[in-house]
Structure 1
Amino acid sequence: MTKKERVLAVFHNKKVDYVPAGFWFHYNADDTVQETIDEHLKLYRETGMDLIKIMQDYMYPVEGNITCADDWYHISVKDTSSEEFKKMSDVIHGIRKEAGNDVLIFQTMYGPTKAASIAFGDDVLMKYAKESPKAVKAGLEILAEGLQKWARAFLEDGADGIYYSAQFSENGRFTKEQWEDLVKPFDLMILNVADTMSDRYNILHICGEPEYEFHTSIDWFTDYPADIVNWSVKDNGYPLKKGRAVFQKAILGGMDNKGNIAKGPKESIADEVHGILDAFGSLGIMIGADCTVQGENIRLDYIKTAVDAAHNYKK
């Protein structure tokens, strides 16, 4: 099997020749296009993992300023002719040229709510979400319409899918009713782009913020269009087998992103991978971490140890 065939088999809960794996971490947002390409390819080649996830380490170019509720009606995100988009597009093209067509490439995207939080500050977003939800909703819809175009352009430029970081379901941030009004519709606008295109895919990553101790409402996302789902097992006490039963989809993850994969030793990394697969089985799973690998001086040999442990797993 090629890496692409192997991962697609996992998406469809079919047998694979060996369990695939994928890990990622953040880069310097100021890296040039070529530096960004080189860093991603170094991770991919030196670890032997089975897909390439392009990190979203640049802020979306959101335009506008929030000083009152009415300002939410006048924000926007630059379109796909912008320099900011072109940089990301050039990265996709460069990685595809070097990696070839036998591996799936996913472009990371954050949702409109996260884009607004980064652009204006989380405290500003939450203040107006509670005081003027109608205005905030209008602004988020504007951003979602713009990011829909980004998603489609990423896919047309050579990405096989979107790795979507779905946020803002943290316990204590919004009620489910508020979340369904202000967050979910705009997540779906982005996710539906790949879902309605042939041979394009969604990886759903359910992510929490540190000020909420990364606790998220996993069950709120069960009807999101995704081919494989990832969340923080350690932070939510939500086992992989429970997620498989609830989502009825393939699963990515299982490893503590701040634990053995970041700190070692290699024997513990391999043991953790084997323990995950002993408990879950080897069908419909791709080994990965709860989130991006965290810590100083991340070691590619540690990541390779986890990838090799997945590839060499025998029940």
Structure 2
Amino acid sequence: MSKRQLVLDAFNNKPVERVPVGFWFHFADSGEFTEGLRNPDIIRKNIEGHKKFVAKFRPDFVKIMSDGFFEYPNPVLFNIESPEKLLDLKPIGPEHPWIEKQVGLVRTLTDSFGDEVLTFYNIFAPATYFKMLYEKTGNRDKVLADLTMQNKDAVKHALNTIAEDLSTLARRVITEGKADGIYLSVQNVQDSRITPELYNEVIAPSELIVLETANRHSENNILHICGYEGSRNDLNLYVHYNAKVINWAVNVEGISLAEGKKLFGGRAVIGGFDNRPGGVLHSGSKEEIEALTEKLIREAGKTGIILGADCTVPGDIDLKRLDWVRNKAKDLSSQL
């Protein structure tokens, strides 16, 4: 069975000959994440990193990283003097270099290995792109929450405008870039003032705009509920999001793969391993990694399960550790 078919069967809760695995990490340095438009070498670095990883590890599928494109380049957002200024925001448009170059990145990589494995392009939620513009403030979530408290309609307009550009990006990376879908990364606003009710009113609509567009062009899209650096999420906010596969931070939220699969109505799930430095995957022995692999599969079964991590794994991880997971999953799958 091809790896493409193996993963598609897992996505669709069909029997599989082995439980597939999926891990990913950055190919650029953190200081380069926003600099792709200003420094084309970062895009080339990202492309070459993916190609080397695929050649060496032969992954079951690939999440294509958007390293270099973390900054949504809409100048209206760079200096917000008042929340009302957000009402002036307009889309950057479908032919902006920020969109064009991401489509080119994806097409280059799918041309290289898209016939072998399924590919999914990373797209952050509108609120995440908004927050990343205020990374240097040291409390980007507070900035978004403050603005929401002052003028929630202006914030909703801004996020929906960003969503229009992200919808264009999602459509084009699938139809022109030939990705099999997107990996949409969402996250609760890490500020208690943004209640579930306020999240559903102001934040969620923009996320659903992007997801609904992706779903019109591919039925295989992944929802990632990001627990990066310990960020906590109310998973119940996302149970109605129409994504084929769900990935969340099992080790941050304390919700197992088996529990999450039930919460999301039996849909396929990805994860199980802690992605953080010092965790079993990054630093444990072969025996510890194999034991955790077995525990995860015995708890969750092998139908509609893809073993992976809570989020992006450290870039210095030894690829043999990922192979230990895959090989143990293969051995167990033949026994169960």
TM-score bucket (shorter structure): over 0.9
From 37, 43, 46, the equivalent of 1:36 is 46
Which residues of structure 1 form unaligned runs of 5+?
none
Cα drift, residue 174 of structure 1: 1.5
Q: Distance in 2 between matches of 1:75 and 1:159?
A: 29
Matched, 1:139 2:158: yes
Q: TM-score, normalised by structure 2?
A: 0.87
Which residue of the partner structure matches residue 236 of structure 1?
253
Matched, 1:195 2:207: no
Matches within 5 A, 1:1-315: 1-28=1-28, 29=33, 31-57=41-67, 58-59=69-70, 60-64=72-76, 65-121=79-135, 122=140, 123-156=142-175, 157-168=177-188, 170=190, 172=192, 174-197=194-217, 199-208=218-227, 210=229, 213-248=230-265, 249-258=267-276, 259-294=279-314, 297-313=316-332, 314-315=335-336
Report the AA paired with residue 145 of structure 2. M
Matched-pair contact (CA < 8 Å) for 2:272–2:307: yes
Aligned residues: 311
Matched-pair contact (CA < 8 Å) for 2:250–2:257: yes
SS in 2 for 1:312: helix
Matched-pair contact (CA < 8 Å) for 2:290–2:325: yes
Q: Distance in 2 between matches of 1:55 and 1:62?
A: 21
Q: Distance in 1 between matches of 2:310 and 2:193?
A: 21
Cα drift, residue 3 of structure 1: 1.1
Over 3 Å counting, the alpha-carbon distance change for 1:209 and 1:290 in structure 2 is closer
Over 3 Å counting, the alpha-carbon distance change for 1:209 and 1:274 in structure 2 is closer
Matched-pair contact (CA < 8 Å) for 2:219–2:244: no
Over 3 Å counting, the alpha-carbon distance change for 1:178 and 1:88 in structure 2 is same
Deviation digits for residues 127-183 of structure 1 (CA, Å, limit 9, x no counterpart): 111121111111111111121111111111211101010112557352111000111
Deviation digits for residues 13-33 of structure 1 (CA, Å, limit 9, x no counterpart): 100111111101122135543
Q: Distance in 1 between matches of 2:193 and 2:117?
A: 38
Q: Distance in 2 between matches of 1:202 and 1:170?
A: 25
Report the AA paired with residue 181 of structure 2. G
Q: Distance in 2 between matches of 1:104 and 1:87?
A: 21
Cα drift, residue 7 of structure 1: 1.0
User: Sequence identity of aligned pairs in percent?
Assistant: 31
Cα drift, residue 101 of structure 1: 1.8
Matched-pair contact (CA < 8 Å) for 1:232–1:291: yes
Matched-pair contact (CA < 8 Å) for 1:7–1:50: yes
Cα drift, residue 239 of structure 1: 1.4
Show structure 1 runs of 4+ deviating over 3 A: 29-34
Deviation digits for residues 198-234 of structure 1 (CA, Å, limit 9, x no counterpart): x442101111354xx4211011111101111111111
Cα drift, residue 10 of structure 1: 0.9
SS in 2 for 1:196: helix
Deviation digits for residues 222-254 of structure 1 (CA, Å, limit 9, x no counterpart): 110111111111111111111111112011111
Cα drift, residue 257 of structure 1: 1.0
Deviation digits for residues 93-149 of structure 1 (CA, Å, limit 9, x no counterpart): 111121142311100000111111112452322211112111111111111112111
Matched-pair contact (CA < 8 Å) for 1:48–1:307: no
Matched-pair contact (CA < 8 Å) for 2:27–2:45: no
Matched-pair contact (CA < 8 Å) for 2:187–2:225: yes
Report the AA paired with residue 178 of structure 1. L
Q: Distance in 1 between matches of 2:232 and 2:114?
A: 38
CA RMSD of aligned residues (A): 1.9
Matched-pair contact (CA < 8 Å) for 1:44–1:51: no
User: Which 10-residue stretch deviates more, 201-210 or 165-174?
Assistant: 165-174
Q: Distance in 1 between matches of 2:261 and 2:190?
A: 21
Over 3 Å counting, the alpha-carbon distance change for 1:100 and 1:133 in structure 2 is closer
Cα drift, residue 186 of structure 1: 0.7
